[in-house]
Chain A
């Protein structure tokens, strides 16, 4: 995979994630105006926020896989270190 192809695939991943989270947040906000803070509305909004945060994380995971296929071990190490940092943030968040 050339750098241009990688860029293109990551771009597609980011636009899909953005579209899903935007749709969930738009629907959630519209329902929030209509129905108020019902549990289902809260869940839709939470799902939108989850997809939003997961999108760049998924982009890093996809890059790690792509670099591993290319046997570009230096970049595998870099992206893996990023994932370790993100995992540690999750650990800190869960302890709160």
Chain B
């Protein structure tokens, strides 16, 4: 294994980790296409490497955002029931289904969500009244953009659970955190502000990815030096991005997230066509 290849994996991890931390997604959406298309790694090695970086991102980002009340622990742990079950089912079906059809479905889903996200660029979910009742699953946090404490309520919990199951499934199948599905879903349909949705999703994806990673590890598809290089790269990238993330405007984050999804969709179609 040449040193340059490991250095390339590490650099890819840094970029993916940085974007992932910024957007509340695992970053696997960049890492998997990069490892398979650019570095020509076997698909399952790429998937397992990516899943492990997702866990690293989740743990370090969540540790870094605690104290700001952005992580909705009650909502996250409830949705984790669905993502962990989805991750388990996905890990099993990863060895049964033809990959090309999955890439197409995934690409289409990305396009759909990017469209929804772009159509809601200027809609915000926060209630700028710190005395409002957040309800059982809602939350309250300090929002710099509104200049005070804001409250939100969670709508359509069953939809969030269903979406989380699908996200968990996709996580294991495609080596990503699943945040790329959950964050827009929670934001656009379930009333969770983008920052809280991103933080809660980042908190959840470690557990989601763990259920898939265990299955890949058991199948012998984890290459330790690649995993270590990618994880260390992700640590560097996500640490750097966290400093920027707190200052980024929500509108810019939505635009960046949509752009990311369009790129991912194209990459997935290219992959399917091969």
Contacts and interface: CB of A to CB of B under 8 A. Distances in A.
Contacts of B66: 7-8, 10-11, 14
B69 A96 contact: no
B214 A90 contact: yes
Given A10-B73, A93-B217, 8 more contacts: A25-B228, A26-B228, A28-B228, A49-B222, A53-B210, A85-B85, A93-B214, A94-B218
B257 interface: no
Contacts of A12: 63
Interface string B78-100: 10110011011001100000000
B232 A22 contact: yes
Given A46-B224, A78-B77, A56 B217 contact: no
A39 B235 CA distance: 26
A56 B215 contact: no
Task: Output the residue of A22, A28, A94 with the most chain B CB within 10 A.
Answer: A22
A35 interface: no
A6 interface: yes
A56 B210 contact: yes
Interface residues of B, number: 49
Given A82-B80, A92-B92, A49 B217 contact: yes
B224 A49 contact: yes
B215 A93 contact: yes
A82 B73 contact: no
A85 B59 contact: no
A55 B231 CA distance: 14
Interface string A77-96: 01101100110111011111
B227 interface: yes
Task: Output the residue of A3, A18, A57 with the most chain B CB within 10 A.
Answer: A18
Contacts of A82: 77, 80-81, 84, 207
B14 to A, nearest CB: 14
B88 A18 contact: no
Contact of A45 (B59, B88, B224): B224
A11 B92 CA distance: 31
A75 B211 CA distance: 20
Given A49-B224, A52-B52, A85-B85, A6 B73 contact: yes
Nearest to A60: B207
A88 to B, nearest CB: 6
A7 B67 contact: yes
Given A52-B56, A85-B81, A85-B87, A57 B210 contact: yes
B212 A89 contact: yes
Contacts of A79: 77, 80
Closest 3 CB pairs of A and B: A93-B218, A11-B66, A56-B206
Nearest to B216: A93
Interface in A1-25: 3-4, 6-8, 10-12, 14-15, 17-18, 21-22, 25
Interface string A51-77: 011011101100100000000000100
